[in-house]
């Protein structure tokens, strides 16, 4: 009697395992179909479910892992194609925008030069208050708040404001004789404060995306304001576009390198695993 009970139990276990294996196989085939249809996210979900629901279906789990590699390969191949395409587009943008600038660089003393908007070439001695911009060869935008007048402001930051009251601020740059410096000549004081990258990005974004009049205020010992003129707006906006395009080239170059290396690794892994699965 005990032998019969044991035999029945073994048969029941075998039937149960066979049934689970069949269901795991069905799940794998479902994932494979979704992969062929380009439904990569759904295919991944089905593959993940095989190991959770059928942890003893080792063959389907291994095949699922291989299918996951193929999905990842397809996704990275797609990313690589997109990065390749956008890199060419943004490189063309950089070359087009550079025509609006000249490169100011003293090779003897500077490792990195700056792109200056063409209207500022041979600008000469500063005799007005205005906002100027430049872009480094690495794509970092810089804005300078320039003051010229009979008495100093000792300003350390800048505020830009639209007629509706919305505004943006630069970071505060304390006087250091370099990025914040001043001098007096013929009874007039000149102050120049330079803000780099994140220190001025909110202001650059605001000017670029805000139509109409923009009020510029220098924050110092006494108030000083003026309205941004069209010449300065054009310089700022074109510098913003050049910096954005140069950053995009760096970003897509990095994405291209990552995707290319990942594709190489996945292709090698897939080939190796295919050989193992055939054994």
In percent, how much of the chain has pLDDT > 90? 82
pLDDT band at 9 (very low <50, low <70, confident <90, very high): very low
Residue 131 lies in a domain: yes
Q: Is residue 48 in a domain?
A: yes
Q: Where in the sequence is the domain holding 83, given as residue range(s)?
A: 2-94+254-277
140, 224: one domain: yes
Distance CA 46, CA 30 (A): 7
Q: Do 89 and 104 lie in a common domain? A: no
Q: Which two tokens stand for residue 209?
A: 């995306």
Do residues 203 and 270 share a domain?
no
The answer on 159 and 186 residing in a single domain is yes
Q: Is the pLDDT of residue 15 over 70?
A: no
Element (H, E) at 215: strand 215-219
pLDDT at position 155 over 60: yes
- Per-residue pLDDT of 113-125, as tens digits, reads 999 999 887 665 5
Please indicate, yes or no, if residue 247 is contained in any of the structural domains.
no
Same domain, 16 and 32: yes
If asked whether residues 143 and 113 sit together in one domain, one would say: yes
Higher pLDDT, 155 or 128: 155
Total structural domains within the chain: 2
Q: Is the pLDDT of residue 154 over 60?
A: yes
Round to whole Å and give the CA distance between 17 and 11. Answer: 10
The DSSP code for 198 is G
Q: Is residue 244 part of a domain?
A: no
Q: Across residues 41-54, what is the average pLDDT?
A: 94
User: Same domain, yes or no, for 79 and 107?
Assistant: no
Query: What whole-number distance in Å separates Cα of residue 169 and Cα of residue 216?
Result: 10
pLDDT class of 109 with cuts at 50, 70, 90: confident
Contact predicate 132/143, CB 8 Å:
yes
**Tell me, what's the pLDDT at 126?**
76
**Confidence tier at 21 by pLDDT (50, 70, 90):** low
Gap between the Cα atoms of 97 and 89, Å rounded: 12
Q: Is residue 218 part of a domain?
A: yes
Assess if residue 145 is contained within a domain.
yes
* Residues 193 and 269 placed together within one structural domain of the fold: no
198 and 115 in a common domain: yes
Give me the pLDDT at residue 170, please: 98
Render pLDDT for 194-225 as a digit per residue (tens, 0 to 9). Answer: 999 999 999 999 999 999 999 999 999 988 99
Q: Is 209 in the same domain as 271?
A: no
The pLDDT of residue 20 is 54
17 and 105 part of one domain:
no
Is position 258 within any domain? yes
Q: What is the pLDDT of residues 160-195, one digit of tens each?
A: 999 999 999 999 999 999 999 999 999 999 999 999
The pLDDT value recorded for residue 127 is 85
112 within a domain of the structure (yes/no) = yes
Q: 129 with 210, same domain?
A: yes
Residue 12 clears pLDDT 50, i.e. is over it: no
Instruction: Please state the rounded mean pLDDT for residues 43-50.
Output: 95
As a whole number, the mean pLDDT across the chain is 90
Tell me if 67 sits within 8 A of 47, measured CB to CB: yes
């Amino acid at each position: 009697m005990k032998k019969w009970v044991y035999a029945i139990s073994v048969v029941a276990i075998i039937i149960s395992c066979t049934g689970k294996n069949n269901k795991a196989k069905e799940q794998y085939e479902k994932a494979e179909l979704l992969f062929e249809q380009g439904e990569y996210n759904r295919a991944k979900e089905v593959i993940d479910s095989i190991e959770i629901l059928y942890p003893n279906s080792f063959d389907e789990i291994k095949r699922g892992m291989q299918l996951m590699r193929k999905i990842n390969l397809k996704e990275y191949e797609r990313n690589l194609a997109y990065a390749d395409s956008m890199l060419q587009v943004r490189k063309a943008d950089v070359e087009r925008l550079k025509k609006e600038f000249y490169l100011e660089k003293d090779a003897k003393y500077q490792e990195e030069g700056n792109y200056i908007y063409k209207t500022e070439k041979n600008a000469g001695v500063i005799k007005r208050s205005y906002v100027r911009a430049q872009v480094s060869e690495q794509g970092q935008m810089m804005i300078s708040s320039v003051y010229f007048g009979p008495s100093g402001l000792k300003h350390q930051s800048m505020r830009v404001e639209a007629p509706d009251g919305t505004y943006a601020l630069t970071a505060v740059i304390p006087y250091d004789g370099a990025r914040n410096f001043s001098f007096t000549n013929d009874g007039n004081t000149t102050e120049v404060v330079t803000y780099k990258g994140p220190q001025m990005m909110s202001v650059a974004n605001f000017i670029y995306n805000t139509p109409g009049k923009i009020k510029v205020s220098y924050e110092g010992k006494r108030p000083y304001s003026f309205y941004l003129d069209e010449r300065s707006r054009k310089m700022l906006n074109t510098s913003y576009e050049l910096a954005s395009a140069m950053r995009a080239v760096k970003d897509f170059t990095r994405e291209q390198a990552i995707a290319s290396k990942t594709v190489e690794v996945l292709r090698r892994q897939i080939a190796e695993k295919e050989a193992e699965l055939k054994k």
